[in-house]
A and B are shown apart, each in its own frame.
Chain A
């Protein structure tokens, strides 16, 4: 069994020696350099762009303005294309725009011989604006008379969806119900992958070639073609090693513009590399979502009716749009089933950074709101948060009508048992009751809900190719990308397992090239071990069957009497090795009568999805006069089904916990209310966690193999980032009695809330 072994990642050697090549490492140093002229207004119409002075700067090759680009619009979201126009992403982008919708929007681009000339030229471009009023807040943007960002979306509402269950209005009339109400606010944050967005493009053979740091090669190729208005086959995209993505690179970023720019300079090589500041301002961010939750419960805590209003700040363009907020909303009735519910989600344009996919896709936001609210209910009724959750959370056997997802195991109780035991929850919870003094400790917890892959919302299609070498080793090709998670290593383990060859004999083609790599929708929705796992198994089983049929020629044994074990063709009846796979592969290829290169390719379509649940427990120390919070201990427990590689799984959890601690305590994009400009778009002022901001991160698992999954797996990429913020918030609540209604709980907010509570 190679599944379940903590094998070192197959790319680790190359990464510790600097041999792994990322996009910029591969670009010829003589490439032309493109730089973008960003708007210095939050909302404006561009009247004129004067490039006279800029063009005089030595080294400038070409300047392209918003008046020079194709007029048709395109979508950027990294979703599978839909042939049904009603399900296509909103196409609201131009390569450069004369309608500036956020501070930093793209007005013109300079192509120069070097970076210095390009930067100087950008500064020398003069833009004449007609400034328009702008709006940054969702509630303000929805009001009549608010500044309008897009013509087709009145009151800036990109989309509104709802869930109705039972009869909320009637249900709340039940006498004796207790009403618990809260507003919960989450911030705009950025992915902060350490490799900035970067791409380069050139023309060759009458086609446009793009190399880019992207999670989604085939999708990005399609978007480039749509943006430029060329046949999709005229574009080729190559994805080398990627220095982190976290959803930001699940969007077409500047690949379409870079591809366009090469066509403006005769197909010469053009590189477009974002600075860190541009990654903050011009790539994507996580939606800030504001929740209004009202729960009507009986005195024992039984949920009778619940109302949830979700307001999502989309920023200037649609990108992934409403899916993010809607996903979060849809989890509410599933997580804590309730007979009477009214849920509404609004996704609203504002003049802020464009929100797209970010690790968790709406779930970190709703998890903060719902799990904070759940503790608010417990506090009001004097109930134990763990016991209350055991009673009210989704029961075993629950089936979601839409996705057909089913909770097959007693996951929630199992993860809570494990988490509570590790952190000594019951004892500490008691010990920390009724504290006084300046420094207090508290313990809190949170559950989380997640699902895997995107069916039935969108297409789930993965193609897998296996190509055998003369030595019996196999190249594995998938479009499901390695972006740091360790996917390639897990894929190699799966392939070795099913095909029956040693792990070392699987060579994963880690770089995707849309000319060569079979189609797949790639890295998002925590789908890869689940979705690609199915394709790998499908392809490997078909390949094995074919190989054994070929082996019949040389062994004279019936295929059903043979198997491939450890790289050998064996006779199953007595275990005898008949020939090695290497002998078979070479013999067949060089067969003078009937030569064949042993290969297999399959396209696998998924029509299932899987729940992936878990919890977090956190212990904190709050220094009230200092308005500071220290996380003393923290644990995430996940049921991600079978673990393919436990060490890599654990590492995934650490990274998500770290991101969630930042979400809880320090990360927030800040805006200048007067201009709409982002104030802290750099790694100094934006407070990403460092080594000094963490305690030890404990990651544990319960492994209930997922019945719908080829290898028992389900999602683990995004879920680790969900539960820490509400767990920490609930721990602070226990320590201080102060119920925080927003993250991050920075000293500024702690000061305000502690003062309000009379603690200061």
Chain B
């Protein structure tokens, strides 16, 4: 290269850099513009697969749908108690087996159509339709005959326990008392969809085009304005929403930033009000230097290890107990995960709708060694080499390495770490082709049932091969019990069995981790980490 060209290139580069830097420092950030204009910028972690409430499964999608659609009943963001949504009021039958909902007459779809009870019936029918194959159809199984309809053993929807008495009255008949029904109604599988729009674009088609911005018709506080894949999704305040006076935000911009570190940098650069999550190693930094931006709230989820009880030596309950007792969870949460998580000595997160397990186990290295000796492996002698499987992720590796070391130090047993990509990992655990596997469970609704009924023999998420008749009986009894105290007693007994048998090793209870700009108001902490946007506003 000639020096002349080099110098001119250098000059050009310098000018460009100066321009960029200058632009960065002087320009108003999206956050400060947003504060003035009431535009919320939120990271959602991933590109949503769809916005069809009956087809999506992820938290990402739910966080957008929450602004676009509204169910019969909503949740108070402070304590998750039911508050009126499309239904103004409701009555519960004394036997707990049926509900009557009175819909408000001023609820409208975004195109001006009134929201009627028939629309809800249409939506429930669609969600349960065997042809659609909605992944969360089982959330509606508490309705009479819903499961049978979903599995095609009943083909006539009129036999399912959901009826529109007139345009504004809806009755739900339940298969068994479901004390947490009103909480369930906040789940997106119960959300209504606009029948004419669905009919136009294919109502039982999984990838229907009705969720495209120009086609989307919703009944929530916001409308879908634009959707640029992998870039941003914008929703704007609806003019037809019945409670529009309460809604203060003008627009919400969602950014699908999958890389936690990139998201954190965007936040620092003033491009996001709220992040989806944050890098683990930054928690300490924010805690020390900028605590006002850090939000760590209890979250209704448990991080645990699955034990394959069909394989020796894990078929021995003593071995399982020894493994569980030999872990120092306090060290794990304070030095490895570092997100303020609480340690888990039982499975259901504490205070799930007033229920906290009373019969957890204790960490006790001496006892763990004794148990291991009783199982025939004194001082870890002759203990076969078992594998610990986790899905590929930095956080999981670190936790697995720490636990591997604890078992080595405390029990003198060797565990081999194996990582797999998520889909392979799911296939391996489903087929019981593992020894120990990492898992996490987030409650779908606020009730211990969401955590305990998955361990019933043969359930899809019971990927341990564990089965206990007494446990199954207690859960079945609880499902038919009206009285919450008796239900909780049944759950206590069931969880006691679960923790004594130990097909799983609970490690810690999750915390939701967000970076949040102090200008965001009405973002109340709750254990489901849901934040209805109608109550959110920005204070510059």
Partners in one complex: no
Binding site for B on A (CB under 8 A): none
Binding site for A on B (CB under 8 A): none
